[in-house]
Amino acid sequence: RRKLDMVSALAAATESPQVPPEARERILVFLKLYRSAVAAIDTTRPDLYVHRLIERLGLRRQQLFAAQADVVERLRALARFGELAAAHVVRSPQATAREFARSIAAVAEWGLSEREQPQLLGADAVQVLALEMAGGLEVDHVFVLGLSAALQGTGTLDCEPVPDELLHEQLPADDEPLRQSRLRQRLYVAITRARERAVLVHAGAVGRGASSKPLPAIEAARRAVDGEWLELTEDLFGPAETLHATYRLLRDELMDGTKRAAGRLAELRLDTDLDISHAVVRYLELLKLAALIARDEGSHGQGLADALRDINARIEQAVTADQREIFVSSPLDEYLLDAERDVRHRARVIAARDEPSLERFLPMRGGGVLLSASDIEIYRACPLRYKFARVFRIPQEPTLHQRFGIAVHQVLERFHAQGSDAAEPQPAGGSLTDLLTLLETSWRRGGFGDSDEERQLHQKAVSSLTRYHERAQSDQARPVWFERQFSFKLGAHLVRGRVDRVDRLPSGEYELIDYKTGRPKSAEQLAGDVQLSLYAIAAREAWGLDANRGAYYYLLDDEKVAIAGDSERSDWIRGVALNVAEGIRAQEFEPTPSARACKLCDYRLVCPAAER
């Protein structure tokens, strides 16, 4: 859904006069390629689709003339990708390019190897392979998957038969008895590869939930041994699986990082000591994960947090000061603790598995929820409104006052950008005439009309911007940044946004300022404010800046309302943000209707809980 929103936004951008002609041309080329790809993804064979896509993108031609050292590796990767698509067609001849993409995404997500050939000797791990590849393999346990009757017959090629004149020998007819015979042969191979046990598995439901039965040959084998089907339901992965997966990932990264560190060591760089410290810490983190896995397998009965504390204490005693600083600042512990879901949350998610999941539509990033101050405020006001706005992304037409606020913000952003070339930011980016000229330009581009209300708003904008310019000239505070963006991790979640203005006060402190075009609120009314409190945390986490002072600047009334921050408020807003993120990830979107909130909600017409 997010990709569709991006495409829709790009299509709409081509109609905007603010988009340069060169950018509009690039957007049109992208849209043409995107629509062509979408039209073919459900009808074209995976191998043909991948080949055409690489050719359309011109990757091979571009890479041939590139000067980077990894050109050959990239070309090999492209060729390997085409081979994977061809292999997928062999396994599933009627599969579409979309199904191949899902398969590749699943392999990448679970960290599986792209190699399909089994390791016949010395393999001490789970191997996933096609039945045809199991000829000489002997293992302890065999799990044969995909034995549903609903999938029977999908292994036939949907293509024209090869004329007999082109064949060197007469081939048997590809009829149903022959296919059943081949199936029995493959099952015989799979079952006889197991030393201890063989488990035959079929899905109870396929497609959109339609029930499915096992293949007749499998059912006959079950009756022959007088066995019974054991119905199993899917369970969520927990901390133990996370430990093993993280260990494998970190092990691979360590091997690659060791080569890079060795190369830098050979160059005798000035920061060689730091490179060595980072490489040592990566090894220590791998050692930590191995210790956690050993504790888990040894059933010590110790929680993950306690185990981390004990292991970290021992490792920190054996490292240098630089290595200790890198080790302590690593986000690995935070990642592992977040993966340890509480029992109540897991039970609630499992119990709700029969409900349609919205997981693929949630704004996720790197395993956590993508948040902003407005996201938090919307969810706290009504989780169902957040679902409509951020998950379903139901479009809403901005009101006149919202368009007015956006226009004023853009005017101030462009005005101060005029002075961005100076070594030190200026109180204002230009003269009052420049400021009002920007307002007139933005007003015309914003599509404002000539109604009484719009004329009144225009007059208010002129008056407020004039007072803003006068205040900027006489204000003792020194603007340092305008429209400064931030992004920082809060647990497993990512918080991002931008601050309208950051001032340095005569006392040396910093003040975060957010512009408002609505009616002023008192400090008491803003006691539960989220935005500026979150900005203060962002200043520390993303910029390394202590800015506990914040203020809302109400432009139309030329009034600043200050909000002081402290450690207690910082802890409060962290807790609020984490609770909101966990609620979103758990898909808790129950409405909280109220007469005032529902009256101002953009989705009251489609909301079943709206108070009318």
DSSP labels for 317-349? TTS-HHHHHHHHT-SHHHHHHHHS--HHHHHHH
453 or 255, higher pLDDT: 453
Among 436, 519, 514, residue whose Cα is nearest residue 470: 436
Handedness of CA 268, 271, 273, 279 (dihedral sign): negative
pTM listed for this prediction: 0.45
* Mean pLDDT of the chain, nearest integer: 77
Q: Report pLDDT for 161.
A: 58
User: Quick one: pLDDT at residue 514?
Assistant: 92
The CA-to-CA distance between both ends of the chain, in Å, stands at 30
What pairs with residue 503 in β-bridges?
479, 511
Locate 19 and state its tokens: 């988009």
**How far is the C-alpha of 586 from the C-alpha of 236, rounded, in Å?**
13
Contact between 462 and 308 (Cβ < 8 Å): no
Residues 6+ apart with CB under 8 A from 445: 17, 18
Give me the phi and psi of 554, to 5 degrees please.
-85, 105
Specify the amino acid at residue 171. Answer: L
Select from 376, 277, 384, 377 the least CA-distant residue to 327. Answer: 277
Q: How far is CA 192 from CA 143, 187, 196, 227, 432, in A?
A: 12, 8, 10, 18, 86
Amino acid at 523: A
Q: Give me the mean pLDDT over the 86-105 stretch.
A: 79
* pLDDT for position 497: 92
265 token code pair: 């060591």
Q: How many Cβ atoms are within 10 Å of 97's Cβ, its own excluded?
A: 23
The confidence band for 154, taking pLDDT boundaries of 50, 70 and 90, is: very low
Crossing angle (nearest 10°) for helices 432-445 and 452-474 = 150
Sign of the torsion formed by the C-alpha atoms of 25, 27, 30 and 36: negative
Of the ranges 227-241, 244-258, 575-589, which is most confident?
575-589
> What is the rounded average pLDDT of the residues 438-455?
86
d(CA 572, CA 99): 45
Q: Which of 338-352, 369-383, 552-566 has maximum average pLDDT?
A: 369-383
* pLDDT digits 0-9 by tens, 163-199: 666 666 666 666 667 777 777 787 788 788 888 888 8
29-43, pLDDT tens digit by residue? Answer: 888 877 777 777 877
How far apart (Å, rounded) are the C-alpha atoms in residues 81 and 51? 9
Q: Span 488-503, mean pLDDT?
A: 91
Sign, CA dihedral 422-425-431-433, equals: positive
Tell me which residue of 358, 371, 347 sits closest to 589, measured CA to CA. Answer: 358
Q: Percentage of residues in the chain with pLDDT exceeding 70?
A: 76
Q: Is the pLDDT of residue 2 over 60?
A: no
Q: Between 205 and 355, whose confidence is greater? A: 205
- Predicted confidence at residue 99, as pLDDT, reads 83
pLDDT tens digits for 287-308?
Answer: 888 888 887 665 555 677 778 8
Residue carrying structure tokens 């090629």? 157
Cross-strand bridge partners of residue 479: 503
Q: Beta strand 139-144 with 194-200: parallel, antiparallel or unpaired?
A: parallel
Confidence category of residue 113, pLDDT binned at 50, 70, 90: low
Q: Which residues of 571-597 are buried (b: 16+ CB within 10 A; e: fewer)?
A: eebbebbbebbbbbbebebebebeeeb
Rounded distance between C-alpha atoms, residue 386 and residue 377, angstroms: 9
Residue 394 and residue 603 in contact, taking contact as beta carbons nearer than 8 Å: yes
pLDDT at 466: 92
- Residue 219 has φ and ψ, to the nearest 5°, of -65, -35
Contact 139, 194 (CB under 8 A): yes
Q: Are 408 and 465 in contact (CB under 8 A)?
A: yes
